[in-house]
Amino acid sequence: MEFKTHEDADRLTLSFSGMLTFDDHETFRSVVTSIVDSPAPTTVLDLSGLTMIDSAGIGMLLLANDRASKQGKQLRLRGVTGHVAKVVELSRLEQLIPID
């Protein structure tokens, strides 16, 4: 997994590419740090570049959502398609994290 950040006045956007799996848990700490350290009240995780996500990847998204919530911030998902959309749907992630 790789990610890029873009920040403007009220939104932090993190764009992901590759696969989000258990092997990425160390790298994902940087994602969480970016969310926590940003002054933006809203963070959008753009998953359009992801080709695959596993249950650990879903867990990492839930962790990011929990950390954002504790900071009084909102996390949103965007670009959920293909295999990623199927896994997100099966996990019912949209009940916890809004999907644009």
14-64 pLDDT, tens digit each: 999 999 999 999 999 999 999 999 999 999 999 999 999 999 999 999 999
Q: Per the domain annotation, does 78 fall within a domain?
A: yes
Q: Alpha carbon of 65 to those of 39, 82, 99: distances in Å?
A: 16, 22, 12
Residue with structure tokens 């590759």? 18
Q: Are 70 and 40 in contact (CB under 8 A)?
A: no
Domain count, the chain: 1
What is the model's pTM? 0.93
Residue 34 included in any domain:
yes
- The domain in which residue 12 lies consists of 2-95
**Residue 100, domain member (yes or no):** no
**What CATH number should be reported for the domain holding residue 9?**
3.30.750.24
- Helical segments of the chain, H only: 25-37, 55-70, 82-91
Q: CA angle, corner 8, sides to 79 and 95, nearest 5?
A: 40
Helix (H, G, I), strand (E, B) or coil at 15: strand
